[in-house]
Amino acid sequence: MLAQEIIAKKRDGRKLSAAELSAAVRGVTDESWSEGQVAAFAMAVFFRGMDRAERVAFTEAMRDSGTVLAWDLPGPVLDKHSTGGVGDNTSLMLAPALAACGAYVPMISGRGLGHTGGTLDKFDSIPGYRTQPDLDTLRRVTREVGCAIIGQTPDIAPADRRLYAVRDVTATVESIDLITASILSKKLAAGLQALVLDVKTGTGAFMAAEKDAQALARALVDVANGAGCRTTALITDMNEPLASVAGNALEVACAIEFLKGDEVDSRLWDVTVALGAEVLASSGLAASVEEGARKMGDVFQSGRAAEVFGRMVHALGGPPDILDDYQTHLPKAAIVEEVCPETTGFVSAIDTRALGWAVVELGGGRRHATDRINPSVGLDWLAGLGRRVDPETPIARIHATSAAELAAARKRVLGAYSISDKPPAEGALIRERVA
């Protein structure tokens, strides 16, 4: 099939067959399609869209463009995906907790994108931890420990890497059809039996409007189930950071404190347990979501999830005593300074996206794909909505490496917080379940 015929058919708003979509993915993967043809295809999909059958066929073709893992394990293979937020380190606790419940979790994660943090960047702050091992290592650690959190290997969904690079420079990133295929092709290539999705909405989310988050959640759930992977989604609030920290090493420390029971953010607990409960129920490891939530609480409170986390870190090259001596192993910023508001009142609104960009400006994220990340910088002590603050009570603490970065971050943080005489109405953390 000629590339121009496939492009023209979608340009004109007609439905593409599974064979035509497979041909398009082959052309992207083997580079028989030029950059211009890939860009034209992405733009045609952006404007004309795909129906459910096209989305499923396209996602399956993207999945099959590389290695699709097969497992022979005594428990179900599960995973989770988040659309990204600020202070969202749920994967660090969720994967070992699911493993402690009897699941196997080969979690293929990504790096930070825009103002949102990336799971792999967090693990890069742990000395020795290998975020890019080969597939044999992924298989071994998953089998022996129960979970392995790593990055996409060259074998997994190679079509997605080229297509995403083209989308990034052609203003087609926001297409729900292409987002769905990009996310799910990598997840489905991991050989999953069940998946849970955390779709964010609010000031810190890519899909800030709830109707857009609902549309993406519905597309992801429909396509994943259509491809044979039992999937549900939760739409969760990102009008404030999920945890009280944002920054790579800081979020690892937060996760370890959570796992050990030393300090637990209530919002972080609620979302992590809810996501785990969903996928445990989907996989049959729990008879219901309610039973799944009880099992999640048990493995956290007993310390079994923490033990799995420590074993995973060591199996992937990190220090064996990460749980007990994380403060020694994790990098620290040279400057730590509190930020207090000028007025007294209640936190009434937070521009969560601005807090994410403050971390990027400190060096904890990327402005360009080639930027190197400083894992030590970030924010903690982040005040949540409804918190009463005053000029002596900090709304955040900044971890920086220079006075200039500190000053820029301080300006961002102060601008992100709105203080008023009355606390805001409390909103739902978990907005909706999509199944």
Residues with a known catalytic role: 79-82, 119, 167, 182, 186-187
Q: Within a 10 A sphere around the Cβ of 38, how many other Cβ atoms?
A: 23
Greatest Cα pair distance, the chain, in angstroms, is 68
Half-sphere exposure of 186 (CA within 13 A, CB side): 22
d(CA 246, CA 244): 7
Q: How far is CA 123 from CA 117, 299, 397, in A?
A: 11, 22, 22
Find out whether 400 and 250 touch, Cβ atoms under 8 Å: no
Residue of 154, 99, 103 whose CA lies nearest to 312: 99
d(CA 194, CA 230): 5
Provide the residue type at 269 as one letter. Answer: W
Q: What is the DSSP letter of 113?
A: B
User: 195 and 98 in contact (C-beta within 8 Å)?
Assistant: no
* Residue labelled with tokens 């989770």: 80
Q: Are strands 194-201 and 147-151 parallel, antiparallel or unpaired?
A: unpaired
- Cβ–Cβ < 8 Å for 207, 399: no
CB-count burial class (<10 Å; 0-12, 13-18, 19+) for 387: middle
Q: What is the Cα–Cα distance from 88 to 264, expressed in whole angstroms?
A: 13
| Nearest CA among 417, 411, 415 for reference residue 398 | 411
